[in-house]
Chain A
């Protein structure tokens, strides 16, 4: 069964460093998303991406964040200068054109900023 994959599973970085979280969505999906879950809090929407551009973003997704689909398979989230409060589990999700509301999630990347 096709699934969303994410790498790395755990990333530790120092405050102020740049990180790139990688995702490989399900191959025939055209909508891509990033969510995050700070420990003990709700899963929060960050951004959605379709047709090579951001279709929606939350107020969390400020100028420190960017997303890219560098090739036909990867979808990345870059945090330009990490802060302590960026420590969270980051989930990538994807959905198909015909059922765009039905999102399939990856296993997540746990980001720890020290």
Chain B
């Protein structure tokens, strides 16, 4: 069985500051890991994915995430936050079949 824990339901950063959103997973099989972003009143957009190739994964809008098996983590980072990054971010794991198991989400607020 898979599970995901996202530390911090709300994260606030200043524009231009580093964004770090934390995700830890549990999986009984080698996982596929994903980050999705949800803007207000919109669906879930795939930001990036880890599928057992490179451990450092680059996604859209300047985001990247690093898979660390020893820490069972897949944290999302962006060097410099932009106002348009304000949204809710979901980490998800897949590995036993195709179903995605989501974390509770982290709302990112960017202050000017």
Q: Looking at the assembled complex, report how far the CB atom of B100 sits from the nearest CB atom of chain A, in whole angstroms.
A: 6
Q: Is the CB of B44 within 8 A of A33?
A: no
Residue of A nearest to B105 (CB): A42
Please tell me the number of chain B residues within 8 Å of chain A, measured between CB atoms: 21
Interface residues in B5-37 (C-beta closer than 8 Å to A): 32, 36
Stretch of B53-61, B63-71, B75-83, B91-99 on the interface side? B91-99
Residues of chain B with a CB closer than 8 A to A42's CB: 102-105
Does A55 touch B at the CB level, under 8 Å?
Answer: yes
Within 8 Å by CB of B98, from A6, A91, A103, A105, lies: A103
Q: For the complex formed, measure the closest distance between the CB of B13 and the CB atoms of chain A, giving whole angstroms.
A: 23
Q: On chain A, which size bracket covers the interface?
A: 20 to 34
B90: which of A4, A43, A55 is its contact (CB, 8 Å)? A43
Residues of B within 8 A of A58 (CB): 99
Q: Which residues of A contact B51 (CB under 8 A)?
A: 101
How far in angstroms is the closest Cβ of chain A from B44? Answer: 4
B102 touches A56 (CB 8 A): no
Give Cα A101–Cα B2 distance, bound, in whole angstroms. Answer: 14
The answer to whether A56 and B44 touch across the interface, beta carbons within 8 angstroms, is: no
How far, in whole Å, are A33 and B98 apart by their CA atoms in the complex?
9
- Asked if B99 and A33 sit within 8 Å, CB to CB, the answer is yes
Contacts of A100 in B (CB 8 A): 98
Known contacts A31-B98, A100-B98; A105 and B103 CB within 8 A of each other = no
Please report A residues at the B interface, Cβ cutoff 8 Å.
4, 6, 31, 33, 35, 41-45, 48, 55-56, 58, 91, 93, 95, 100-108
B residues whose Cβ falls under 8 Å from a Cβ of A = 32, 36, 42-46, 49, 51, 90, 92, 94, 97-105
- 3 nearest A-B residue pairs (beta carbon): A107-B43, A105-B44, A43-B102
